[in-house]
Amino acid sequence: MHLWKGLVKNIMSDIFNRSSAELSERAIKGIIDDEITNYKKEEVALPIIKLKLPDKESTVKIKKPAIKLSALQEAVRPAAGTVTAPRPEITLPDSLTASQKLRKAFRYRRYGMTIRLVKPKEREMKPLPEVKPEDLKKLKIFQLKKYFLGTWLLIPALVIFILFSWMPILKTVFISFTRFLSFNKSTFIGIQNFTQIFSDAKFWQAFGHSVELAAVVILIGTWLPLFIALYVHEMRRNSSIIKILYFIPFLTPAVPAAILWKWLYSQSYGLINSFLSLITTLNVHIGWLTNPNLVIFSIAIVFLWKNIGWAMLIYIAGLQNMPKTLFEEASLHGASVWVKIKDIMLPSLSPVILAVVFVQIINSLQVFTEVYIMTDGGPVGSSEMVATYIYKKAFLYMDIGYACAMALVFLFILISITLARMNLTAKRG
C-alpha cells in the first residue's frame, strides 16, 4: 500500500509540473500508463545481512559436571591404559522364560557381572505319618456328624410339625371311621360316614356357596391387584408408601377385621348405608349381610380387602423380573399400550397369574372366620361354607366322626386342586 501511494504521488506531481504546458487528456493518460509499466518492471532487492561470529574472548565455556560412578561400576571399570578383553557371549538355559533371559542379559551388559543360575535346593521327601485306627474312627464319626448336621438342625421343627400337623391328620383319619356315642365313648362304623356325605344336601349346598365365593374372588381378586400393581410399578414417587397401605389389611387379624366390616355393613347404622344415603339423599337400608342375594358378595369384598395386598406384591415382583428390552423394542416398532399388555406383559406374567388364581381358590374355599363372625352361615344358610358346616357338625351337634369324614373329603378336594396346578405348571415348563 505504501509503494502504491508513493507511485501515485510521483505521477500526480509530474502531471502538475507539466500542467503549465497545457497537456491534453490523452497526454495525461499516456504519462500515467508509462509510469505504471516502468514501476512494474523494477525489481525489489532485499538487503543482504551479514552476521559476524563473536570473538573467542567474549565466549563463555560451560563445564560439564562430573558423573559419579557407583562402587560397583568403579570396581568393574578397567584401569587407564589397560586393554579390555571382549566379553564372552551369554549363554542362557532354555528353562528360563523370555523375560528372565532379557533381565539377566541386561544385567550382564550393564554391570559386567556373571550370570548366576541358582538351582533350587533338593529337599528330602519325608514319608507321610501312619494313620492310627483310632484316628480313622474319629474321622468317620466326624464325617457322619457333618453329613447329618442339617438333619439335626431340622429335628426340632420336624417334631413340632409332626405333633401339630401330622398327628391331628392321622387322628382325624382314625376318628372318621367311628361314631361318638358320648364324649369318651365311640364305636367303629367303617365307611358309613363317607357314604353319608354323598346324600347330605346341606354339605353340597355349603360346598356350592364356597365355590360361588371362590368364583367372585377369582373374577375380582385376580385382575384388580394386577391393575394396582401396574399403577404402583409405574409410579416414580411414594410407591413404597402405597405398597405399605395396601399390605396393611393383610397384616390385620381376621377377627377384628370381620367385626369392623360387620359394623360397616350394618343395615341401620352402618357407614356404607350412611354414605349412600348422603349421596342419593334417600334413606338407604340395604341388608348387606341379611339379604341372601348379597351376603356372599359382601363376604367376598371383605376377603378381597384383606388379601389384595399380597397379590399386588406378587404381581409387582413379576413385573420387576420382566426384561425392559421387550418394551423398548415394541415402542420402537410403534406398538400401542394394549399390544404391549396383550403380547408382552400377559404372556410373561402367566405363571404368576396362575399361581395367584390357585392360591385365591384354596384360600377362599377355606374361609371360616369372616363367615362365622359376620353371618354365622345365615341368613337361612345362604352363606354357609364348608368350613363353618364342619365346625357346627363337630362342636354343636357333636357328630365328630361325620365332621372328620367331611374334613378328609374336603382335604382331598384341596389336594386335587393343588395337583392340578402342579400339572399345569409342569406342562408349561
**Mean pLDDT computed over 154-182:** 89
Name the β-bridge partners of 196. Answer: none
- pLDDT, residue 209, reads 94
Q: Read off the pLDDT of residues 78-101 as tens digits, 9 standing for 90 and up.
A: 555 555 555 555 566 677 777 777
- CATH (residue range 197-428): 1.10.3720.10
Cβ-based burial of 220 (10 A; exposed 0-12, middle 13-18, buried ≥19): middle
**Percent of the chain at pLDDT above 70?**
75
Contact (CB, 8 A) for 298 and 289: yes
**Mean pLDDT computed over 158-185:** 88
Angle of helix 149-161 versus helix 133-147 axis, rounded to 10: 40
pTM given for the model = 0.64
Q: Round to whole Å and give the CA distance between 386 and 362.
A: 12
Q: Read off the pLDDT of residues 341-391 as tens digits, 9 standing for 90 and up.
A: 888 888 888 889 988 999 999 999 999 999 999 999 888 889 999 999 999
Q: Round to whole Å and give the CA distance between 243 and 252.
A: 15
- pLDDT, residue 72, reads 47
- pLDDT, residue 239, reads 84
**Mean pLDDT computed over 394-418:** 91
- pLDDT, residue 272, reads 92
Cβ-based burial of 179 (10 A; exposed 0-12, middle 13-18, buried ≥19): middle
- pLDDT, residue 185, reads 82
Q: Is the pLDDT of residue 31 over 80?
A: no
Name the DSSP letter for residue 178. E
User: Domain limits of the chain?
Assistant: 197-428
Q: Is the pLDDT of residue 39 over 60?
A: no
3-class state of residue 187 by DSSP = strand
**Mean pLDDT computed over 385-398:** 92
In which element (H, E) is residue 179 found? Answer: strand 178-180
Query: 315 or 17, which is more confident?
Result: 315
- pLDDT, residue 101, reads 76
What single-letter amino acid sits at 336? S
Q: Read off the pLDDT of residues 99-137 as tens digits, 9 standing for 90 and up.
A: 777 777 777 766 665 555 556 667 777 887 787 888 888
Q: Round to whole Å and give the CA distance between 230 and 312.
A: 9
* Range of lowest pLDDT (36-50, 295-309, 348-362, 385-399): 36-50
Q: Read off the pLDDT of residues 218-237 as tens digits, 9 standing for 90 and up.
A: 999 888 999 899 888 888 78
**Mean pLDDT computed over 16-40:** 61
Please tell me whether the peptide bond between 379 and the residue prior to it is cis, using omega within 30 degrees of 0.
Answer: yes
Average pLDDT across the chain, whole number: 81
Q: Round to whole Å and give the CA distance between 373 and 259.
A: 7
Name the DSSP letter for residue 50. -
Nearest to 368 by CA among 335, 342, 391: 391
CB within 8 Å of 9: residues ≥ 6 apart:
none
Quick one: cell of 318? Answer: 413379576
Q: Read off the pLDDT of residues 275-297 as tens digits, 9 standing for 90 and up.
A: 888 888 788 889 999 999 999 99
Nearest to 202 by CA among 398, 393, 408: 393
Give the confidence band of 20 by pLDDT, cuts at 50, 70, 90. very low
- pLDDT, residue 325, reads 83
Q: Is the pLDDT of residue 33 over 60?
A: yes
- pLDDT, residue 122, reads 72
